[in-house]
A and B are shown apart, each in its own frame.
Chain A
Amino acid sequence: MLRLNAKTIFRWSFSLLAMVLLAPPSVPAADIGNCLLCHKYPGLSRIDEDGRLRLLFINEATMNSSVHARVKCEDCHTDIKKIPHDPAKKVDCLTQCHIVEPTSEQKFSHKEVARFLSKSVHGLKDRDQKPKKHPEDLPSCKDCHDNPLYRPLSIFKQKVHPGISKAALGRCRVCHKKDEFIYRFYNHVTTRLHKIRSPKNIAEICARCHDDAQLAARHGLSTKAVYSYGETFHGKAALFLDERVPDCLDCHVNPGRSVHQMLSYKDSNAITNENNKGLICANMDCHPGASPKLAEYRVHPEFDLERNPYQFYAQVFFLGMTGSVLLPIMGLLFLDLLRRMFPNASLRRRK
C-alpha cells in the first residue's frame, strides 16, 4: 500500500511539476472539421490515374511547426464541404482565408504575392507585356513552396543558435498567458529574422528549373546556374550548411524587396543589372565598403570554351597540371611503399 509521507508527496509533486514543465507545448492544428480523423494515418494514399502517388497524410506535429498551423483545412481546401468528401480540387493559393492580418485587420490572402510575381522575371508576361514563350515552364506557388516550416532562433548575450530560447520564453510569459500564442509568435518572429530555408535548400529549389538543361535551353538561360554557384566559395560553404553565405536570392533580389519581385538582369532597376551589380557584394551584411569591382567576377562560370574562354583554359590548365603532377608522385610513393613491403620481390626469374 502506498504510504503518503512527506518524502513521497514531495517526489510525486516534483514529478508532476517536471512533467508539466518539460512537456512539449500542445499546439493543436486548426482541425475544426475533424479532418485528422482520417488524414492522421500515414498510409492514407493512392496512386492516381496518371500513376502519381497521392499522399493524403497530414503529419500533425510537422503541420503545427509550419506557418500555416492556424489555418483551417477548409480555408485552403474550399471545395470540401462534407465528410466523406469527393477527391479534393487543386488548392488556389490566392484564396482569402480566415486569418486576419493584424495591422490592416483584413482577411489574409496571397493576392499581393501574385501581383508581385506577375511583374517579376518569373511572370507570364515580358517587360513589353507580351506573353512569354513556354508559360508552362514558369513557376507557380508550389513549384518553389511546400508548407514553410518555422526555423526559430535563440538569441542569448549576442550568441545566436537554432531553436527556442527558454530565457526569452520566460520573459514572454510575464505578460502573455497562453503558451500556444507565445510559441507561435516566437516562432513566427524569429523565423522571419532570417531565411526560412538554408542556402543549400534555396539553391536546390532554384536548381529544379535552372539546372534543367532542356528548360534552360528553351528560355535561353545559362544551363547550370546553380551547379556553377556550387563551384564557387559561397556554394561550397552552402553545401556544408553554412548559413552566413549568400544564396541565389541574396544576390538576385533587390534589397528590401520580396523574392517574388525578382527582376531580369536586363531590367535597369535590377540589382543584377550591369550598372547596379557593384552594390550586391558591398552591402552591410556581406562585404561592407567593398569596391564595386568585387561584383565583376563571374559568379556562374560555365565550363564552356565559347562563353568563358579564360575560365575554361584556367580550369583545364590548373586541374590538368595538379592531377598530372600529384598523381605520378602518389604513384611513385605507392611503388616505394610496395618495395619496402616486399624488399626482395622481383618480376624477373631468379637464376
Chain B
Amino acid sequence: MKKLLSKLYLLLLMAFTVFMMVVIWDVTLGKLVAEFRHRKLSQQATEMKAGQKEASETTTFKQAILEGEKRVKHYLGYRVLEQRWLKGHFHHIDFDFKPDKHNYCINCHGDMPHDKVKELRAFGNMHASFIGCQTCHVRLEGSARTGVFKWYDRTTGEIVDSPVEKGTQAGAYNAKIIPFERIDGRLQRVDTPERVAFARDYRKNEKTLTDIQKSKAKKIIHKIVSKKPYLCGDCHRKEGSLLPFKELGYPQERINVIVSTEVVGMIHKYTEFYMPRILHPGESEEK
C-alpha cells in the first residue's frame, strides 16, 4: 500500500512538472516565438498599407461566416452579460437558443430559412424558432391528419412536456412543435426515424452522388412537403385553429394574445393591404 501511494505521489509530481514546463514554455520561449510570428504578420499587413483596402475587403469565408460567431462579455459588476457579437448591432441580445440537433431540414436550409417574401421572412424565422418546419410545410390529409401536435426537445429530439409556462418569455423555448400523423392506425411523429435517417444519409453521401442521384434523393426527402404551406391565419384565429394551443400547454392568457384582435388584425392588414401575394406564395416572386 505504501509503495502504491509513493508511486502515485511520484506520478502526480511528474504530471505537475510537465504542466509547469508547458506554462514556462508559454510565458518565455513560446511567447518569444509567438511575438516573432505576430510581428511578421503585422509587418506583412503594414506593407499592404494604404490604397490596398479594396483587396483586403474581399469577403472571405472566414470574415463573412466564422467571424460572425464572435461572442462578447459585458462585465456589469453585478452580473456578466455574455452574448453573440454582431457588428453595429445596438440592442443587447442576452439570449441564446440551443441548436436544434434533431431537425433534419435545417442541415441544408439553415435555421433561418425564410427569406423570399420580404414582409414575412422575419416572422417566418421567428416561428421557426419554436415550431418544427413540418408543422407548416406538411399538410396532412385524410386519415393521416390527426390534429395531434407535441413538443420535442431541441437537443435530444425527444417528445417533452410543454415548455410554455406562465411567465416564460414568449418564443424562448428549448423545444419545438411537431405534428403527428396516423399510418396504419399507428400514431407517429412526422419526422420519423426513417425520414431523419434518409436525410442524414443523403448529407453524408452527397459528395459522392451523381446529379441524377441527388435529384432523386431531394425528391424523396421533399415528398411530404406541401406546395402551399399553412399560413398565419390558419393558427391565429379564434375558431378552428390548426394548432391545439390548449393541448400544447399554452396558458389561456397566451392563447388570448395569439388569437387577439391585435395579432389577427395585423395579419389581416398584411394579407389584405400590404402583401396580398402572401395568399399566393411564389406567384408574385416569380413575376
Contacts and interface: CB of A to CB of B under 8 A. Distances in A.
Given A53-B68, A91-B90, A46 B78 contact: no
A53 B70 CA distance: 13
A241 B270 CA distance: 49
B14 A341 contact: yes
Nearest to B35: A303
Contact of B122 (A46, A52, A198, A320): A46
B21 interface: yes
B77 A153 contact: yes
A66 B94 CA distance: 13
Nearest to B36: A303
A152 B171 CA distance: 30
Contacts of A146: 89-92
B277 interface: no
Contact of B170 (A41, A197, A331): A41
Interface residues of B, number: 76
Contacts of A94: none
Interface string A141-177: 0110111011111000000011100000000000000
Nearest to A339: B10
Interface in A21-63: 34, 37-38, 40-47, 51-59, 61-63
A43 B49 contact: no
Interface stretch (A3-11, A282-290, A321-329): A321-329
Interface stretch (A114-122, A217-225, A259-267, A292-300): A217-225
A34 B114 contact: no
Contacts, number: 201
B62 interface: no
A340 to B, nearest CB: 6
A19 interface: no
Given A323-B25, A327-B29, A340-B10, A56 B90 contact: no
B182 to A, nearest CB: 30
Contacts of A324: 29
A208 to B, nearest CB: 9
Contacts of B78: 151-152, 162-163
- Majority secondary structure, B binding face: helix
Nearest to B51: A218
Nearest to B119: A84
For chain A, the bracket of interface size reads: 35 or more
Contact of B97 (A42, A52, A151, A201): A42
B106 interface: no
B192 interface: no
Given A218-B50, A241-B75, A320 B118 contact: no
B122 A327 contact: no
Contact of A37 (B25, B38, B73, B263): B263
B285 to A, nearest CB: 15
Interface stretch (B126-134, B183-191, B194-202, B206-214): B126-134
A320 B42 contact: no
A46 B18 CA distance: 49
A87 interface: yes
Interface string B4-41: 00010011011001101100110111111001101101
B115 interface: yes
A13 interface: no
Nearest to A304: B39
B72 interface: yes
B90 A334 contact: no
B10 A341 contact: yes
Contact of A46 (B11, B112, B172): B112
A107 B14 CA distance: 69
B203 interface: no
A214 interface: yes
Interface in A241-266: 241, 243
A43 B127 contact: yes
B176 to A, nearest CB: 10
A214 B110 CA distance: 33
7 contacts: A42-B95, A53-B112, A161-B77, A214-B56, A216-B46, A217-B47, A322-B28
CB-CB nearest 3 A-B residue pairs: A162-B77, A43-B129, A323-B28
Interface of B: 7, 10-11, 13-14, 17-18, 20-21, 24-25, 27-32, 35-36, 38-39, 41-42, 45-50, 53, 56, 64, 68, 72-78, 81, 86, 88-95, 97, 110, 112, 114-115, 118-119, 121-123, 125-130, 169-172, 262-263, 266, 269-270, 274
Interface of A: 34, 37-38, 40-47, 51-59, 61-63, 66, 83-84, 87, 91, 133-134, 142-143, 145-147, 149-153, 161-163, 197-198, 200-201, 204, 213-214, 216-218, 223-224, 241, 243, 303-304, 315-316, 319-320, 322-324, 326-327, 330-331, 333-334, 337-338, 340-341
Given A147-B91, A327-B29, A337-B10, 19 more contacts: A40-B169, A40-B170, A45-B122, A51-B64, A59-B94, A62-B94, A84-B119, A149-B92, A197-B74, A200-B75, A201-B75, A213-B42, A223-B42, A223-B45, A224-B38, A319-B28, A322-B28, A326-B28, A340-B10
